[in-house]
Amino acid sequence: MLTNGYLNKLRSPGFFCVALVLLALSSCSRPAPRASVKKVPAGQEFSGFLSTYASLKPNPDFENTKSYVSGDPAKNIHKYVAVIVDPPEIYISTDADEKAFPDRGVAALKEYFQNAITGAVEDAFPVVQSSGPLVLRLRSAIVGIDVGQQLPADQKDANTLERALNIGRVAVEVELVDSETGEQIAAAVDRQNLGEGATVGSATFSREEKFRAATQAFDGWAFRLRRFLDSANELSKDDIDRVEATNFPYASK
Amino acid sequence: MTTSRSSRPKNIYICYSLAAIKNITRYTGTFRFGPQLFIEDASLDKGEQSMKSCVTLSVLALLASSSFGADEVSTFAAYVDSDLCARLMLGPITSERVQCSQSTFKEGSQPVLVRLRNNMVLTVNKEKMIGPLIGQLAEVSGKVKPNDGTVKLDSAMPITNASIPKGDPARKLLDVRMYRTDRSAQLHEKIRHELAMMPYISNFDFISFAQSGADVILSGWTVRATNRDTAGRVVRDIEGVETVINNIEVLPLGSFDMQIRAVARAKLQRYLARYFWGSGSDIKIVVKNGQIILLGTVATKADSDLAFMQCNSVPGAFKVFNLLRVQGSDKGA
């Protein structure tokens, strides 16, 4: 219990001065904001990025992939015509030291993957900037990135990262949600290992031949995402029968 | 021209190029590209000869580049149609099509040109110039951008059917017999099937086609660029198809039109649920700049009227074209 004397001390001008100095010092010593990375929780199968994992099932058409596509007649992928592509999120592996992750590398990686998935989906789902009716939101995460070794000093230039990023055991988690309600319409966790042996060692890795394996891996995941969308859009047998029976051109006979 | 070598001004190279062109025409009779460009002129030494050739080539390159860079300026015969009827591709120009053009134009559909030679739909920069000619044939002059499907009009004059000579490719669209002859019925069905099976067709896309022998004209509207490309590709790959004119218009996805699409579909789905299923619908809702075009097939006239009424009450929609077909009836409502 606080005594009256103690409360009086708290109200004294000296105490406020000390508090202000401490506050100023703490804000000065705060590190610059880092590119946000999250960590895969220990002992968990998934990163926790998707809004729900409850409906995911192994997809026979895609190796090492679990997926879900809403079959709700009122809210399914066929009911949407455009998409917002959110910047990808990065989940580092459970054991990795997040302080060792170079911000520039994380930012470059995010930018490359966002461009890759935008390019892969945009002709099927035109990309728009704001949410609204008939618009999906494409959320994605690169899960399991690890920090690699320090790069040799003699190989460094202005774009070289302090530490390489290792994408050897990366998975990709994506989901399409209704841009207005956030309801999950489709989702996939792609564990197909496309990045084995690939690293990112430069902020301009997309333009450097020695990191071609990394860009190919990201392009590969983007391509698989497009294939997943194509498969989710395939017509069912009932739909085919219905379309066949009703879809006639207006041209004169 | 005889000029002594010493008195000839060295820096006036344009004279050389003119002289070169003169020499070329002198030797060949006509001015044309080819080996004749390098004809020797005995009055010039070797250095001057090479300079002459160099300047000549430069002038020719300039001429060539200026002509390649320009838009295609042409005069052609066209049918002045409404955007709506042109995209629905009612086929050859019959009285039914003329009626469609005139009525939908009056109701607010923009005027466009259909180039008779190949059925290409072209939007124009001066709609007022062709508005009075709707439902007629016209001789049009202007800069055509085939990739954009646009024409920058210089002039448009009405012409008669008879003024297009027999055998002219422009007559194709005027001849009803050219379209869908019995021997191509199988091909027609194949094209229809392939277009119907496209996976990204939504309630807001309508793709139609007309066939004239081995030539196919695709038309309609889509909200996805991929549908335009895929339709062109799948039809081109069908055995028996020789040429494909792709008049499918990709609609912009403005938030205003998106709102109209969503509300119109919700209303129709509520009152006419039996026409909607998991991935598609019998009723297509094309929305373009606040206008709704209802297409597809319904069972009764009452359903068609109900769809029209519901779409008329969509906030922001300022015009509804009801082109729904009623089963068992050839004409739309």
Q: What are φ and ψ of residue A39, in 5° steps?
A: -115, 140
- List of residues 6+ apart from B213 with CB closer than 8 A: B178, B181, B184, B242
- List of residues 6+ apart from B72 with CB closer than 8 A: B143, B144, B145, B146
The type of residue at A24 is A
- CATH annotation of B182-250: 3.30.1340
- List of residues 6+ apart from A54 with CB closer than 8 A: none
The CA-to-CA distance between both ends of chain A, in Å, stands at 94
CA distance linking residue B164 with residue B218, whole number of Å: 25
Q: Give whichever of A57-61, A166-170, A205-209 has the largest mean pLDDT.
A: A57-61
Given a cut of 70, whether residue A128 has pLDDT beyond it is yes
CA distance linking residue A246 with residue B192, whole number of Å: 11
Residues of B in contact with A71 (CB under 8 A): 278
CA distance linking residue B141 with residue B145, whole number of Å: 13
Cβ–Cβ contact B296 with A under 8 A: yes
Output the six-digit token pair for B79. Answer: 């049918």
Q: Give whichever of A231-240, B130-139, B274-283 has the largest mean pLDDT.
A: B130-139
CA distance linking residue A246 with residue B188, whole number of Å: 15
Given a cut of 90, whether residue B294 has pLDDT beyond it is yes
Instruction: ipTM value, please give it.
Output: 0.74
Q: What is the pLDDT of residues B174-212, one digit of tens each?
A: 766 655 555 578 888 899 899 988 889 999 999 988 887
How close A87 gets to chain B, by Cα (Å)? 22
CA distance linking residue B325 with residue B330, whole number of Å: 7
The pLDDT value recorded for residue B182 is: 52
Given a cut of 70, whether residue B20 has pLDDT beyond it is no
Q: What is the pLDDT of residues B237-286, one digit of tens each?
A: 999 999 998 999 999 888 899 999 999 999 999 999 999 987 888 999 99
CB atoms under 10 Å from CB of B255, counted, come to 14
pLDDT band at B29 (very low <50, low <70, confident <90, very high): very low
**Least CB–CB distance from B204: residue in A81, A124, A233:** A81
Q: What is the mean pLDDT of residues B59-79?
A: 64
Coil, strand, or helix at residue A233?
A: helix
Cβ–Cβ contact B299 with A under 8 A: no
Given a cut of 90, whether residue A56 has pLDDT beyond it is yes
CA distance linking residue A168 with residue A44, whole number of Å: 19
Measured at the CA of B179, the angle between CA B178 and CA B184, to 5 degrees, comes to 105
Cβ–Cβ contact B253 with A under 8 A: yes
Question: Do residue A252 and residue B199 have CB atoms under 8 angstroms apart?
Answer: no
Higher pLDDT, A199 or B130: B130
**Burial class of residue B239, CB neighbours in 10 A (0-12, 13-18, 19+):** exposed
Q: Which of A76, A118, A176 minimizes the C-alpha distance to B202?
A: A76
* Residue recorded with tokens 């139609």: B208
Q: How many residues does chain A have?
A: 253
Pairing of β B120-124 and β A184-190: unpaired
Higher pLDDT, B332 or A206: A206
Beta strands in A48-153 (DSSP E): 57-58, 65-69, 82-85, 89-92, 135-150
Question: Do residue B229 and residue A240 have CB atoms under 8 angstroms apart?
Answer: no
Output the six-digit token pair for A70. Answer: 């809403």
Distances A78 to A184, A230, B73, B301 between C-alpha atoms, Å: 14, 11, 43, 28
Q: Is residue B152 within a helix (H) or strand (E), and if so which, with residue range?
A: strand B150-159
CA torsion sign, B4 to B10 to B11 to B14?
positive
**Least CB–CB distance from B200: residue in A71, A233, A238:** A233
CA distance linking residue A30 with residue A13, whole number of Å: 26
Residues of B in contact with A252 (CB under 8 A): 90-92, 94, 96-97, 176, 179, 210
- List of residues 6+ apart from B28 with CB closer than 8 A: B36
Question: Do residue A126 and residue B296 have CB atoms under 8 angstroms apart?
Answer: no
Half-sphere exposure of B234 toward its Cβ, with a 13 Å CA cutoff? 18
Instruction: Pick the range with the lowest mean pLDDT from B29-43, B115-129, B205-219.
Output: B29-43
Q: Which fold has domain B255-326?
A: Histidine-containing Protein; Chain: A; (3.30.1340)
Alpha-helical segments (H) within B29-179: 46-69, 83-88, 95-106, 127-130
- List of residues 6+ apart from A170 with CB closer than 8 A: A142, A143, A144, A145, A193, A195, A217
CA distance linking residue A54 with residue B54, whole number of Å: 74
Q: Which of A183, A189, A218 minimizes the C-alpha distance to A46?
A: A189
Determine the angle formed by the axes of helices B185-196 and A237-246, rounding to 10 degrees. Answer: 130
How close A189 gets to chain B, by Cα (Å)? 23
Q: Do B85 and B204 contact (CB within 8 A), yes or no?
A: no
Higher pLDDT, B320 or B168: B320
Q: Is residue B120 within a helix (H) or strand (E), and if so which, with residue range?
A: strand B120-124
- For CATH 3.30.1340.30, the residue range(s) in chain B are 255-326
Share of chain A above pLDDT 90, in %: 37
Q: What are φ and ψ of residue A186, in 5° steps?
A: -155, 150
Taking only residues 65 to 124 of chain A, the set having a beta carbon closer than 8 angstroms to any beta carbon of chain B reads 71, 73-74, 76, 78-79, 81-82, 123-124
Structural domains in chain A, sorted by start: 32-233 (3.40.50)
Given a cut of 50, whether residue B146 has pLDDT beyond it is yes
Output the six-digit token pair for B330. Answer: 């050839």
